[in-house]
Copies of this chain bind each other. A is one copy, B any other.
Amino acid sequence: MSAELASLGVRARAAVKTISTSSAAARDQALLVAADLLAARAGTLLDANQADRRAAAAVGMAPAALDRLTLDEARIEAMAEGLRRVAALADPVGEVVDGWVRPNGLRVQRVRVPLGVVGVIYENRPNVTSDAAGLCLKSGNVAFLRGSSSALRSNQAVVAVLREALDKAGLPADAVLLVEDTSHATALEFMRLRGVIDCLVPRGGRELIELLLEHATVPYVLDGDGNCHVYVDAAADLDMALDIVVNAKTQRPGVCNAAESLLIHRAVAAEFLPRAAEALAGVELRGDAATLALVPGATPATEADYATEFLGLCLSVAVVDDLDAAIAHIERYGSGHTEAIVTQDLAAAQRFVREVDAAAVVVNASTRFADGGELGLGAEVGISTQKLHARGPMGLRELTCAKWVVWGEGQTRT
C-alpha cells in the first residue's frame, strides 16, 4: 500500500476519539474560524487554484471541467457561507433516537454517535473539499478526503485552512486529512481501507460509482442517477400540472432531481400535451406515437430515451392508459430516485405513494423538492439511491449511526 495512505490512515484513526467526543461548541467554533480564514486566505487559494487551472488547461481540460475547477472570490465566499450555515445547524450527535425499559429493569437507549472516519472521494470541484469536510466535522467525524489530481493545489490550500481552524479551536488538525497521492492505484487502495474508513461517500459520476462497486471493501453510500418522472393523472388540475412539469424539467435541468420523463393519462393527453409543449418551448420532446400525434414538434422516443437521465433540456413523453400503466412504466424505467404524481384523486395519490418504489414520492409538487435543504434537513450530504442506511436526501444524521447504551443494576441473563 502507498506509504502516505497508510500513514494518513493511522492519523485519521488517532483523531477519531477526540473529534467524536468533542463538544458541539468546539466543532462549531472550528467551522466559523475556517469560514473567516477562507476569506482571509482568498489570495493564497486563488493562487493555488490558478496553478491548478494553468496545468489543467495545458493538458487540454474541457471548458466545463475547467469551470468546475475554478475558484473565484464569489465561490470562496460561498464556501465560507456554507461552513457558517452548517455550524448553525442542530448537532446530530448525542440525540437519543429511542429508548425504553425492559421488564428486568434494564434501561435501553439508542444514541446517535459519529460514524468515525468518513472517506470522501470526489472529482475536480475544490468547493467539495470544504463542503464535505464541514459536514463531517459538524457531525463529529474525521474527514478523510481524496480529490482529483487536477485540483490538488487548490485542495491543499483549502485543507490547510481547515486544519488551521481546527487547531485554533483546540481540536486535532488531523480531523481533516487530504490524500495527496492522487494516482488511480491509490484511489483503489483508498476504497479498500477497511478498519480505517467507516463510511465512504463518493461524489462523482458513473465511472466512479462503477469503480466503487467493483473494488470497494469499505462500507459506502451511493448517490446514483435520477431518471425522475412526473405522471399527470386523469384527475389532475391541469394548470397545476403544467406548473409542476415546467418547474421539474426546466428550473435546473442539470441536477438529479429534475424530471426526465412526462407520463400523461390518455384521457387528458389531448388537452394537456399541446399546452405543455408550448410551456416547455426550448425543451426537446421525445414521445411515443400518441404524443407525436398531439405534439407536431416532438421526435420519436426510443427505449433508450425512456431510460435516460438527460440532465439537459430534453424530456421523454409517454401517454399511458391508466395509473397502473404509469406505475408499470416507472417500475421499468425509473432509477428509484424521485417520482411525482399530479392528481386530485385521493385514491390515485395513495396508490402511487404506496406502490412506486423510489427514495421519494411526491404528490402535487415538483420533483425538484427532493433535496436535503428543501425538505428541511438543513444541509445535504447527497441523495442516496440505495436503500440501506440512507435513502433519498441525506442530512447530517446520515453521517451518524446509533450506538446501543444499556444501563443496568447488576442484571445477568438466565
- Residues of A at the B interface (CB closer than 8 Å) are 16-17, 20-21, 100, 102, 106, 108, 113, 115-116, 194, 198-199, 213-214, 217, 219, 221, 237, 240, 243-244, 246-248, 251, 331, 349, 353-355, 357-366, 368-370, 374-376, 386-389, 391-393, 401-414
Contacts and interface: CB of A to CB of B under 8 A. Distances in A.
Count of this chain's copies in the oligomeric assembly: 2
Given A116-B387, A387-B116, A389-B389, A368 B219 contact: no
A361 B403 contact: yes
4 closest Cβ contacts across the A-B interface?
A: A365-B408, A247-B412, A360-B404, A389-B389
B365 A251 contact: no
B413 A364 contact: no
Contacts of A362: 406, 408
B410 A244 contact: yes
A106 B365 contact: yes
A371 B359 CA distance: 30
B412 A363 contact: no
A403 B393 CA distance: 10
A240 B369 contact: no
A365 B213 contact: no
23 contacts: A21-B355, A102-B376, A213-B217, A214-B217, A219-B386, A237-B410, A244-B412, A251-B414, A358-B403, A360-B404, A360-B406, A362-B408, A363-B407, A365-B409, A365-B412, A366-B412, A368-B412, A370-B406, A374-B413, A375-B406, A388-B401, A391-B403, A391-B404
A221 B199 CA distance: 13
A3 to B, nearest CB: 23
Contacts of A403: 358-361, 391-392
A388 B406 CA distance: 20
Contact of A389 (B213, B237, B388): B388
A255 to B, nearest CB: 11
Contacts of A363: 405-408
B199 A388 contact: yes
A402 B395 CA distance: 14
A240 B391 CA distance: 44
Contact of A404 (B219, B251, B392, B414): B392
Contacts of A115: 387-388
Tell me what chain A mostly uses at the interface: helix, strand, loop, or mixed: mixed
Contacts of A237: 410
Contacts of A414: 251
A307 to B, nearest CB: 13
Contact of A411 (B194, B353, B369, B389): B369
A248 B198 CA distance: 28
A354 B21 contact: yes
A389 B198 CA distance: 12
B411 A366 contact: yes
Contacts of A406: 360-363, 365, 369-370, 375
Given A244-B410, A331-B17, A389-B389, A405 B108 contact: no
Nearest to A362: B406
B376 A108 contact: yes
A21 B351 CA distance: 10
A386 to B, nearest CB: 6
A28 to B, nearest CB: 19
Contacts of A368: 412-413
Given A21-B354, A366-B413, A413-B368, A404 B247 contact: no
